[in-house]
Amino acid sequence: MVNGCFSYGKRPILKNVSFTLESRQVLAVIGPNGAGKTTLLKCIMNLLPWQSGCATLDGQNISRIPAKRLWRQIAYVPQLKRAGGSTVREMIVLGRSAYIGLFSQPKEEDYCIAEKIMKKLSLTKLADRPCDMLSGGELQMVMIARALAAEPKIVIIDEPESNLDCHNQLRVLELIREISQTVACVINTHYPEHALRFADKSLLLLYGGEQVYGATDAVITEDNLKRAFNIEAHIGNAVIDGVSHPYIIPISSNCDSYAQI
């Protein structure tokens, strides 16, 4: 991504946003409400047009990649919403749409790929259950499975842990870390602590039309949290059974350095 700019009317949202994403890497995008996180994801996928700058995939401008070929390389998991009455198996097979002709039916290969992904994500027992009978955590796992069915190079996930309890938030984030061993992931999150723990190499912080991009632990600092989120916070680290677990404790919401959005 090089110098991406986007505005709604005369209101600039993204200004000269630049970052890189390598294979088998998790990039987290954080920032306050209205900072342009979801807009950024849509611009990356060519769902919204950059006004200047561009996103590239393997050196090619994404806006010039035919849609069907693009959606074989990038898969999108939107913010969690209730699904219809399709079964889990049917929902996951929908992830194969870029490989299926407009008036064609899924082939045996498509169902085999869906079965393989369900087994990998421990969803096989839910295969015949209607999606509208799933819990929020189960549905989010199914949506990620649907994205993986496209066999993409990049999975983009918008607020993967929103509206989930703490158990399911952790379950989904652990899944993202697992799948990042084979595909690159971009996640948009409201939780800086989640980004600190699960975005292993790089992070993009958006606020007030500004950006900070770099190594996760270099971007998520107490000063940057103050500037972006208007909070005083303490960042610490707990070592449990020899494993390091970074954490963030919000202390106060009253700061003078808040970036007006």
Model confidence at 79: pLDDT above 90: no
Q: Is residue 193 part of a domain?
A: yes
Give the Cα separation of 32 and 194 in Å (integer).
Answer: 15
Model confidence at 120: pLDDT above 90: yes
Q: Is residue 259 part of a domain?
A: no
Q: Is residue 82 part of a domain?
A: yes
DSSP code per residue over 91-108: HHHGGGGGGS-TT----H
Three-state DSSP class for residue 256? coil
Q: Is residue 258 part of a domain?
A: no
CATH number at residue 86: 3.40.50.300
Q: Is residue 261 part of a domain?
A: no
**Band (81; pLDDT cuts 50, 70, 90):** confident
**CA end-to-end distance (rounded Å), the chain:** 23
For residue 102, the model assigns a pLDDT of 75
Our count of domains for the chain comes to 1
Q: Is residue 158 part of a domain?
A: yes
The DSSP H or E segment spanning 143 is helix 136-148
Q: Is residue 260 part of a domain?
A: no
Give the Cα separation of 50 and 42 in Å (integer).
Answer: 10
pLDDT digits (tens, 9 = 90+) for 137-153: 999 999 999 999 999 99
Total Cβ atoms within 10 A of residue 107:
13
Q: Is residue 188 part of a domain?
A: yes
**pTM value > 0.85:** yes
The residue segments making up the domain with residue 139 are: 2-252
Partner residues linked to 160 by β-bridges:
none
